[in-house]
């Protein structure tokens, strides 16, 4: 798809790292499937990926974690993201 930010680049499937913060909790999620602009680097997450990402962050927050670094692990979402 054409990038909505720079209007020049096209997005391609790739992986990114997302940092989420809430209160005193910081969650770093690596290997998150995304569409990434080849011109400006803007990252787009599918809705299913976003939901899984927020679910993982919520679980860390509920455990009282202050800092956690994890790899994205939702296999169904990862497979679906590769198809798009």
Q: How many domains does the chain have?
A: 1
Pairing of strands 67-71, 25-37: parallel
Q: Is residue 5 part of a domain?
A: no
Nearest CA among 34, 2, 4 for reference residue 16: 34
Distance separating alpha carbons of residues 6 and 30, to the nearest angstrom: 25
Q: What is the pLDDT of residues 28-81, one digit of tens each?
A: 999 999 999 999 999 999 999 999 999 988 988 899 889 999 999 876 565 555
Nearest CA among 51, 63, 71, 74 for reference residue 22: 63
pTM: 0.80
Q: Is residue 32 part of a domain?
A: yes
What is the span of the domain harbouring residue 69?
Answer: 11-75
CATH number of residue 46's parent domain: 3.10.20
């Amino acid at each position: 798809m054409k990038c909505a930010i720079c209007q020049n680049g096209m997005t391609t499937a790739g992986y990114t790292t997302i940092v989420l913060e809430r209160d005193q909790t910081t969650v770093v999620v690596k290997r998150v499937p995304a569409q990434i602009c080849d011109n400006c680097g803007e990252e787009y997450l599918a809705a299913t990926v976003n939901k899984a990402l927020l679910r993982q962050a919520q679980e860390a927050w509920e455990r009282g974690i202050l800092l956690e670094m994890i790899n994205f692990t939702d296999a169904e979402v990862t497979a679906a993201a590769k198809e798009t």
